[in-house]
Structure 1
Amino acid sequence: MPPRAVVRNHYRGLVLTVISMTGRLLLAHWPALLAWFLAGILVRYLVIELAGFVGAFSALGGQLLLPLAILARLVSFVAMFLVLRDGMARLGTIAVLPRDALARRRAFVDAVLGGILPFFAFYAAWGYLRDDWFAYLARGLEVQQGIIFGSMLSGEAVSTEGTLDQLVFEPATIALIVVAFVGRWAWNRYRDRLPKWSAIGAVYLEAIWVFLTVILISQALGWVSEWVQSRQAMVWLADIRTWVTTQVEPIAWVWEGVEWLLGEAGGIILLPLAWLTIAGVVYGQAVAPQAPRLGGALVDRARGRFSSLPEALRRRLGDLWWELASRFRPIGRAVVLMWRAGPVLVGGYVLLYTIVLGFEQMLRFWITRLIGPQDFYAFWTVADTVVLLLVPLIVEPLRVTLVASAYDATLARLVPTSVPDSSGLDEQPGEPGKRLGRDELDGERPGGVERDEERDGDREGVGPGPGA
């Protein structure tokens, strides 16, 4: 068989494996997936209600509680991903599922800590953070209206200054970020000497500094965008575009088509890749020792120059680099793994994810048609939340199992062919029967950096044994 046909059959088999594994995992674990999803929604709602109530009296208190709403969703999704681990063949081959309760608890904490940064960034980029913020403001304003009405009846003066304010760049906010980051670093350094319950505080500190940083970065990007849009050069570009498109109509069609394509690319391509990256971060805590690494002449030359530095300097730079990059390294590993998986597998996964999105929209359509026309105030204002909740109850477990199955398929490049697999899909494309060499794995690093990372990895609980 020609090599190209071998590659085509290999990836076709992987996509079919993703479909079959999605169905198998969904049938085996849907009650647990549903329970964790409902728990995340319920806790998020309760936290937003509490944050809005506290925010009506103190903006700082409300905004310190609000990250817990996002954290509740993250914990529920991490639990949903980890529930599926026992049915993921390749992941189970690379990282054995931890058996004792201590290892499982440690793996769960590591998965949550590793997922906070990418999940919060994803949460903000897709507008979910804005929805939570508006819900928080609505609850806070409702409480304040009750307070003001009560003050009018009693004749007492009530001040709402310093309540429900949005965070801005000010010394108190920056100091809070620094304190939370340092506290998280201290826990990471001394976690073995601290009680087990201190992990809850570490997760909260990580969520606080990431949440505040994401908020401030979003504000900064908004200011930059407003400044750019207000420049005279942007007005000239808009005028040029209007003149060109009116003079040459085909250019207007192309321009609008490009704008439409770029706008749709976020939901069609970036959204499924973002979910796959989050799954890679959650599961990547287990496969870190076998994760693929970037290579090439530039990378090898940089490693060689780093090895030529004095050992003491290498150690200090290695410690500093580890502290700065440890939160981004799982994201990088997940992206590299997707890159190694190839465009056919990733494209097939994106297509399957798009089908799930279409199924979600179809469910919304048919549920509303099945209920039929109802009075808005008598029915929809009361039952809309329960009715529309049926859609995510069906779609979210399907979405998570699809993402987990796709991630397991990307591990085909890390699993040797000696592992029993009825599909025979663990062979490299075009090279049947060839096992992966050490250069395909996350091998040695120059100088003392490897020793530093291994030492810190052991302290973080990221090792080949317990996994995530």
Structure 2
Amino acid sequence: MPSPYSLPLHTLRLAGKCALPLIFWFAAGQLARFLLLYGATEVAYGDFQQVRLVAVMTLLTFIILTAMTVTTGMLYSLRGAMWEMRARVEEGEAQERFFRVLDRVAPAFAVLYLAWGFQTEDARDVYQMDLFHHFYDQLDAGWFGEESRVGRGLIDLDWRVSLGAMAVMFGLKWLFAKFVEQGKGGLYGFLAAFSEFAFVFYGLNATVFIADARSEWIEHRNVVAGTQEIWAEAQKNVPLWDAVTKFFGDVWPFVLDAVAVPLAWITVAMLVFGSYSDEARTLLKGTRLEKSVDRLEESHDITQKSFDQLTGGFRDRWLPLANSLRMAFKSGAPLFGMMCLCYVVISVTGQYAERGLMTLIGAQEEYAWAFMGPPVTFVRDMIVTVLTMSLLAAAYDIAATRARLNGEPLNDV
């Protein structure tokens, strides 16, 4: 029976056995990411400006899809060294193809990526690449008092064009989601994820424009103005209000980074390794709500069909994700706590190691880090990403092995 406290050693074991494919996936992903970032800064300038800005949004979508593919590929390459996967092979279970796994992971990955705001970092990279690549163009425009469009590739899309593209992607999103719900073959899950990202990015400018116009109208209404005054008075008069809100505001971001984000990524790992279920009974098993499933199944056929029509899309999309979260907690508090602790240690150690290496190298001129910094950052990111992916696989492997030895296999598909 593997101990939850053996997680660090098992992580290093998986990282050592699968180091080459993990490094290959990471390096290929970084190369593809750089090419897409560079393309986004080049395509934004020229004639047919609005068409070009739509292309920038499309490239941003491909940047995120590249991250999704690389994450899935790195986790997939760890399968051969995992105890659970070897046990499944011995039981005669065929190994899934990579594209089948990618198609299953894509919809849930899109939900998690957007829910936690990971796309903000990708948009920031596009903006920084644009500023760095067209630095002299912006400098010349500043010297001569001219207007510059440098760094505006993600915000200058006309709201009418944004709204039209948003409507088109909503239709495609709905179509591909229906194909996924019906279980049709092909990469419909991947296309659904692409449509989900594109729907958000294409419609961002229209959403901001409409929200700004709406908020400008709302903030002058008497009810809203009165509510703001009451809220301000409560902040002044309620005892310990500032202290509590300040403490909560200071601590909450660390709780998210240390607990919620690792849980989100372990959910992706579980989907890659096939431990998911789309049945409500599995999610509610052992709870009081399980009786509601029994009552529904005992009800009239018309009632069951009506319920299926009403909740079909919701159940097919969210139940696999909810079951993966259930399995993470099912493995026990020590293993989940060790996973969160190791996740934080890897992240913090990587940052301090990068800072120490830069101090050790040293540089007399500040501008030297413009070309010395990227290789150091690449090595840091590579080591941190390899260890993080190995950590997720190791946490799942220990949980699944313990469940199997206890007679309750974790893979409940």
Normalised by the shorter chain, which TM-score bucket? 0.7 to 0.9
Partner of 2:73: 79
* SS of residue matched to 1:124: coil
2:117 paired with 1:124: yes
How far apart are the structure 2 equivalents of 1:80 and 1:441?
20
Change (3 A) 1:215 1:398: farther
How far apart are the structure 1 equivalents of 2:372 and 2:215?
40
Partner of 2:164: 172
2:103 paired with 1:110: yes
Alpha-carbon displacement from aligned partner over 1:432-458 (angstroms, at most 9, x marks no partner): xxx349xx985xxxxxxxxxxxxxxxx
User: Which of 39, 43, 68 matches 2:32?
Assistant: 43
Partner of 1:431: none
User: Which of 184, 191, 195 matches 2:176?
Assistant: 184
Give the letter for the 1:324 counterpart.
F
Question: Offset of 1:366 from its aligned partner?
Answer: 0.8
- What is the 5 A alignment of 1:283-432? 283=273, 285-288=274-277, 292-296=282-286, 298-311=288-301, 314-315=304-305, 317-318=307-308, 321-377=311-367, 379-412=368-401, 414-415=403-404, 417=405, 427=406
Change (3 A) 1:143 1:260: closer
Question: Offset of 1:51 from its aligned partner?
Answer: 2.8
User: Which of 243, 246, 263 matches 1:273?
Assistant: 263
Aligned length: 387
How far apart are the structure 1 equivalents of 2:153 and 2:82?
50
Structure 2: runs of 5+ lacking an equivalent? none
Question: Offset of 1:321 from its aligned partner?
Answer: 3.4
2:190 paired with 1:206: no
Q: Say if 2:57 and 2:154, in contact at 8 Å, map to a contact too.
A: no
How far apart are the structure 1 equivalents of 2:115 and 2:170?
22
* SS of residue matched to 2:78: helix
2:53 paired with 1:62: no
Question: Offset of 1:405 from its aligned partner?
Answer: 0.9
How far apart are the structure 1 equivalents of 2:282 and 2:394?
19
Q: Say if 1:90 and 1:412, in contact at 8 Å, map to a contact too.
A: yes
Q: Say if 2:276 and 2:320, in contact at 8 Å, map to a contact too.
A: no
Structure 1: runs of 5+ lacking an equivalent? 1-9, 153-157, 193-197, 418-426, 428-434, 443-463
Partner of 1:21: 10
Give the letter for the 1:350 counterpart.
C
Alpha-carbon displacement from aligned partner over 1:200-243 (angstroms, at most 9, x marks no partner): x7624531224423775896798799989x85544554554456
Question: Offset of 1:260 from its aligned partner?
Answer: 1.8
Q: Say if 2:276 and 2:324, in contact at 8 Å, map to a contact too.
A: no
* SS of residue matched to 2:172: helix
How far apart are the structure 2 equivalents of 1:394 and 1:342?
28
Q: Percent identity at matched positions? A: 18
How far apart are the structure 1 equivalents of 2:157 and 2:288?
44
Change (3 A) 1:50 1:187: farther
Question: Offset of 1:24 from its aligned partner?
Answer: 0.8
2:87 paired with 1:93: yes
Question: Offset of 1:76 from its aligned partner?
Answer: 0.6
Change (3 A) 1:145 1:441: closer
Q: Say if 1:44 and 1:69, in contact at 8 Å, map to a contact too.
A: yes
- What is the 5 A alignment of 1:220-299? 233-234=227-228, 236-238=230-232, 240-242=234-236, 255-283=245-273, 285-288=274-277, 292-296=282-286, 298-299=288-289
Q: Which moved more, 1:331-340 or 1:49-58?
A: 49-58
Alpha-carbon displacement from aligned partner over 1:263-316 (angstroms, at most 9, x marks no partner): 321222222222212212322x35548995223554223213322443355346
Give the letter for the 1:70 counterpart.
I
Question: Offset of 1:375 from its aligned partner?
Answer: 0.8
TM-score by length of 2: 0.77
TM-score by length of 1: 0.69
How far apart are the structure 2 equivalents of 1:167 and 1:405?
47
How far apart are the structure 2 equivalents of 1:104 and 1:386?
34
Give the letter for the 2:322 counterpart.
G
How far apart are the structure 2 equivalents of 1:278 and 1:85?
14
How far apart are the structure 2 equivalents of 1:342 and 1:323?
31
Change (3 A) 1:400 1:441: closer
Alpha-carbon displacement from aligned partner over 1:71-97 (angstroms, at most 9, x marks no partner): 111101100001111222134435779
Alpha-carbon displacement from aligned partner over 1:395-414 (angstroms, at most 9, x marks no partner): 11011101111122332564
Alpha-carbon displacement from aligned partner over 1:329-366 (angstroms, at most 9, x marks no partner): 22211111122122222112111212112211221221
* SS of residue matched to 2:363: coil
How far apart are the structure 1 equivalents of 2:305 and 2:392?
38
Q: Say if 1:86 and 1:97, in contact at 8 Å, map to a contact too.
A: no
